[in-house]
Structure 1
Amino acid sequence: MKRIVCAALLTAALSGHALAAEGAHLDGATMSLLWALPFVGMLLSIALFPLFAQHFWEHNFGKVSAFWAVVFLIPCAILFGLPVTATELVHTAALEYLPFIILLFALFVVSGGIRVAGNLAGNPATNTSILAIGTFAASVVGTTGASMLLIRPLIVANKNRDRNVHVFVFFIFLVANIGGSLTPLGDPPLFLGFLKGVDFLWTLNAMFPPMAVSAVILLALFFAIDSYYWRQERHRRAAHPAEREIRIEGLHNVLYLAGIVGAVLFSGIWKPGISIPVGFGNAVPLEGLIRDVVLLALAYLSWRTTRRNIRIENAFTWAPIQEVAFLFAGIFITIIPALAILRAGKDGHLAPLLAFVTAADGQPINAAYFWLTGALSSFLDNAPTYLVFFNLAGGDAQALMGPLFKTLLAISAGAVFMGANTYIGNAPNFMVKSICEERGIKMPSFFGYMAWSGAILLPLFVLITVIFFR
């Protein structure tokens, strides 16, 4: 742990909301779509290797991520020059990746120090209550934090049931995805938007209506499905305790979670106008540096002050956050040329994409933004997809929160909601699947899960379109 924190503290000097100065950047208007191939290769690797070469992937995902990053960086350095490549790399690391991964790291460590134990009975009322609590908790501690906090007690509560797969499918829908809609802490795309200048409270005000509609419908549907299966298991009911005893261990970590929320809010409100140059025309604002150091300090305090047996009982390991860190490093590097092409707008090779989401009068087609952002988020990971469409819509946070309010809402809802469509749409999805399978629960296959999401989520998203994006 000491090594991890020391290394993270060292890299935190490069983190924060970087401000580009006069450094040379890629000209997207001169770049062909071939430059996006490393990004596509990276994302296809995430989708296909776990399915067809799981053993290889488990031992080599970091090497695969590094390979695709190098496939972009070397040609870029040769054709555009080392200074341009270094400028883009430092800018991406400082502006997006390090703040993103430090927040996930802090939430992962702190939530892993809280253990919900007891003899919960996995009946419809209990399961629905856990899903409802997790749905709203996800916006405070993140979809990753809420998922890691509640998945294990939910597994224990339902271990004696014959049919329990639906419980964990809906858990992914609600807790690992849709529940993270209300704050930049909830889901990685929204935090990236926050780093781009979207107000913390804008997310809460804008996203609450579609999130509330989606959550209420899904919770009601889950209760009906779970009640049906519960009635079929009369012989199992005796195995569930009539009286429930619940205890929470490591409760002091809630204070650290509050500190994480405070640090993120602080960095969004306090703007001293002081920046620290990090080279190649990039600089780190003081508030971003302080935020990241505080987050790392809170994670370190959680690790040192939480009894080891709590994390042991939670089956806490570094593997999930390590995988996310390595894979997202590759994603953020390989997405650089795609973003450059998008920034070129009508002069770039992705102009047809701009035409698809833009009406003849130049106004954005919000329903198209919702579905296109969502469709790509289902397979390409929702954080970089959010960045793509945020930039496609102009990339100006003030304009997107003002005249283009519904456009930003469509992009945000599409990225967060439709990350639930597949196992690879959002980082916690695969983490939940892995934990369930480790505990002996036979989760649906990749396409089996898509059958669930297609039958349940797609009709819901059509309704959301009619209500909010017509």
Structure 2
Amino acid sequence: MRSLVLTLALLGLAGPALAADLDGRAFGVFWGLPFAGMLLSIAILPLAAPKLWHHHFGKIAAGWALAFLLPFALSQGLGATAGVLAHALLAEYLPFIILLTALFTTAGGIFVRGNLHGSPALNAGLMAIGAVLASFMGTTGASMLMVRPLIRANDNRRHNAHVLVFFIFIVSNAGGSLTPLGDPPLFLGFLKGVDFFWTVKHIFPETLFLIGSLLAIFYVIDSWYYRREGVTKQDPTPDTAGFGIEGGINFLPLAAVVGLVLMSGIWKPGISFDILGTEVELQSLLRDVLLVGVTLWSLAITPRALREKNQFSWAPMQEVAKLFIGIFLTMVPVLAMLKAGEQGAFAAVTRAVTGPEGQPLPWAYFWFSGLLSSFLDNAPTYLVFFNLAGGDPQQLMTTLAPTLAAISAGSVFMGANSYIGNAPNFMVKAIAEDRGVKMPSFFGYMAWSGAVLIPLFVLMTLIWFR
């Protein structure tokens, strides 16, 4: 893909159209079919045609991406297509993959020694620790750090998939709701002028309620499984001399990742480069280059034997990279139609979040930003509703604080509704499956989220977002 972008640049085909600036009014709902096809492929093919999916999921993702790009090229021209492709790759996909790879690599070099035994209390404790870490090192960083010890602690359990499902609910999503470092939507809000500590001041009760409720529900369910299992299968993890951490040196590159992300949001040198009509700011370019360096640093300082003990594998990262290029490209017209507001194909969404006197409805913002974040990238979805509510950070932090709280909570919390709602969801699934855990299917996971999360979101609406 990168070579295609560079080739188009050399040919001088770059046009003015950017993914961020596409006129959503020009798209009909049929432009959303490739995205729908991408989602249905992820949901259905692993069950209906597992061998086909396992061997060709990257080609299938590329096929759906082309199902959008080719008609777009025919209708808008090669220049506009090059601009869209450049924006999706340079402004969205590559920074996303580079950051994810850095977190995956650094956390994968930290080995928690000791054979923890996955009792309900221990599992809940590990998830609570992960939830606290998530708001300071991001949901992806906390997930990558904590998921391997959790899998190893439960590798002698007959039923352990539910442990990973609740881990996704708690650590990969809800735990990242308190600071801009926790989840990309909140970081975008920070870049737009929302105070760093605004979310912890305004949605801490909601976060505490959600995480506390999920931990309590998990403890009850896991205790039932634990009592019902009786004799577990033979523990494949040998007991060791004692609990400890090996590869702790990787906490330095892990901290560097967090620092680089924060730097890119605070440092504004005002220097940018135009690549095929996509503006790449110096701080973003420097962040991504240094993140690649951090990844190589972690690989250099971590003995191969240590990663082998951690059962580190590149397969989960490769799966995420291949699938998300399809997701990022096919969702371009969907986001453009949402940004068009009343003038776009999804005008009904704009009308649904506004009251009869033009006032924003917090409950509607919570549910619509949340449900769309369940299937679209939750960062641009947050931005769509942030702008829909006026886009003035000072007004949103004060007189419209309930609306901003609803957008923030919906975008972060409801990313847990599906595997693709937030990047670490799919990462945890891929790592668990790579370690032999039989995770629920796409719809099986949504059955869990529908049964557990949706009732809690209804309660939160009645309490905080009416």
For the superposition of Structure 1 and Structure 2, which TM-score range results when normalised by the shorter chain? 0.7 to 0.9
Residue 52, structure 1, aligned to residue 48, structure 2: yes
CA contact (8 A) 1:320 1:431 kept: yes
Residue 219, structure 1, aligned to residue 215, structure 2: yes
Q: Which amino acid aligns with 2:57?
A: F
Residue 272, structure 1, aligned to residue 269, structure 2: yes
Aligned equivalents of 2:452, 2:309: Cα separation in 1: 34
User: What's the offset of the Cα at 1:64?
Assistant: 2.0
Q: Which amino acid aligns with 2:271?
A: I
User: What's the offset of the Cα at 1:110?
Assistant: 0.8
Aligned equivalents of 2:334, 2:391: Cα separation in 1: 14
CA contact (8 A) 1:250 1:310 kept: yes
Aligned equivalents of 1:238, 1:284: Cα separation in 2: 53
Q: Select between 137-146 and 306-315 the one with higher mean Cα deviation.
A: 137-146
Q: Select between 269-278 and 190-199 the one with higher mean Cα deviation.
A: 190-199
Q: Which amino acid aligns with 2:50?
A: Q
Write the deviation string for residues 93-128 of structure 1: whole angstroms up to 9, x where unpaired: 333222222211211111111111202132233222
CA contact (8 A) 1:199 1:268 kept: no
User: What's the offset of the Cα at 1:231?
Assistant: 5.0
SS in 1 for 2:374: helix
Which aligned pairs between 1:246-325 and structure 2 lie closer than 5 A? Answer: 246-280=243-277, 282-325=278-321
Q: Which amino acid aligns with 1:245?
A: G
Change (3 A) 1:337 1:358: same
2:408 to 404, 412, 423: 412
User: What's the offset of the Cα at 1:401?
Assistant: 4.7
CA contact (8 A) 1:383 1:415 kept: yes
Aligned equivalents of 1:220, 1:386: Cα separation in 2: 29
Which aligned pairs between 1:450-465 and structure 2 lie closer than 5 A? Answer: 450-465=446-461
2:428 to 421, 426, 432: 432
Residue 26, structure 1, aligned to residue 22, structure 2: yes
Aligned equivalents of 2:161, 2:221: Cα separation in 1: 11
User: What's the offset of the Cα at 1:464?
Assistant: 1.6
Alpha-carbon RMSD across the aligned residues, in angstroms, is 3.5
Write the deviation string for residues 271-324 of structure 1: whole angstroms up to 9, x where unpaired: 1212222232x3222221222222121111001111111211222222222222
SS in 2 for 1:277: strand
CA contact (8 A) 1:138 1:180 kept: yes
SS in 1 for 2:113: strand
Residue 468, structure 1, aligned to residue 464, structure 2: yes
CA contact (8 A) 1:335 1:384 kept: no
CA contact (8 A) 1:200 1:265 kept: no
CA contact (8 A) 1:200 1:268 kept: no
CA contact (8 A) 2:27 2:337 kept: yes
2:35 to 31, 36, 39: 39
Change (3 A) 1:241 1:43: closer
SS in 1 for 2:274: strand
Which aligned pairs between 1:323-402 and structure 2 lie closer than 5 A? Answer: 323-380=319-376, 382-383=378-379, 385-386=381-382, 389-390=385-386, 392-393=388-389, 400-401=396-397
User: What's the offset of the Cα at 1:202?
Assistant: 4.0
Write the deviation string for residues 218-237 of structure 1: whole angstroms up to 9, x where unpaired: 22333344445545567669
Residue 140, structure 1, aligned to residue 136, structure 2: yes
Structure 2, unpaired ranges of 5+: 10-14
Change (3 A) 1:293 1:397: farther
CA contact (8 A) 1:106 1:298 kept: yes
Aligned equivalents of 1:64, 1:398: Cα separation in 2: 44
2:64 to 59, 64, 68: 68
Aligned equivalents of 2:370, 2:464: Cα separation in 1: 15
Change (3 A) 1:98 1:257: same
Aligned equivalents of 1:102, 1:288: Cα separation in 2: 11
Aligned equivalents of 1:398, 1:67: Cα separation in 2: 44
Residue 168, structure 1, aligned to residue 164, structure 2: yes
Among all aligned residue pairs of Structure 1 and Structure 2, give the percentage whose two residues are the same amino acid.
Answer: 59
Structure 1, unpaired ranges of 5+: 1-6, 15-20
Q: Which amino acid aligns with 2:242?
A: E
User: What's the offset of the Cα at 1:438?
Assistant: 4.7
Q: Which amino acid aligns with 2:38?
A: M
Write the deviation string for residues 380-405 of structure 1: whole angstroms up to 9, x where unpaired: 56456545545554566666555544
Q: Which amino acid aligns with 2:104?
A: F
SS in 1 for 2:112: strand
2:12 alignment partner in structure 1? none
User: What's the offset of the Cα at 1:181?
Assistant: 2.2
CA contact (8 A) 1:358 1:365 kept: yes
CA contact (8 A) 1:23 1:84 kept: yes
1:126 to 119, 122, 125: 122
Aligned equivalents of 1:53, 1:199: Cα separation in 2: 48
Q: Which amino acid aligns with 2:329?
A: I
Q: Which amino acid aligns with 1:250?
A: G
SS in 2 for 1:276: strand
Aligned equivalents of 2:44, 2:383: Cα separation in 1: 23
CA contact (8 A) 1:120 1:245 kept: no
Residue 89, structure 1, aligned to residue 68, structure 2: no
Using structure 1 for the length normalisation, give the TM-score: 0.84
Using structure 2 for the length normalisation, give the TM-score: 0.85
Q: Which amino acid aligns with 1:124?
A: P
Aligned equivalents of 1:194, 1:59: Cα separation in 2: 41
Aligned equivalents of 2:394, 2:321: Cα separation in 1: 30
Change (3 A) 1:43 1:403: farther
2:97 alignment partner in structure 1? 101
Aligned equivalents of 1:67, 1:216: Cα separation in 2: 42
CA contact (8 A) 1:138 1:186 kept: yes
SS in 2 for 1:252: helix
Aligned equivalents of 1:285, 1:438: Cα separation in 2: 37
Write the deviation string for residues 237-295 of structure 1: whole angstroms up to 9, x where unpaired: 99999999211111011111111111111121111212222232x32222212222221
1:155 alignment partner in structure 2? 151
Aligned equivalents of 1:375, 1:186: Cα separation in 2: 20
1:113 to 109, 121, 141: 109
Aligned equivalents of 2:214, 2:408: Cα separation in 1: 19
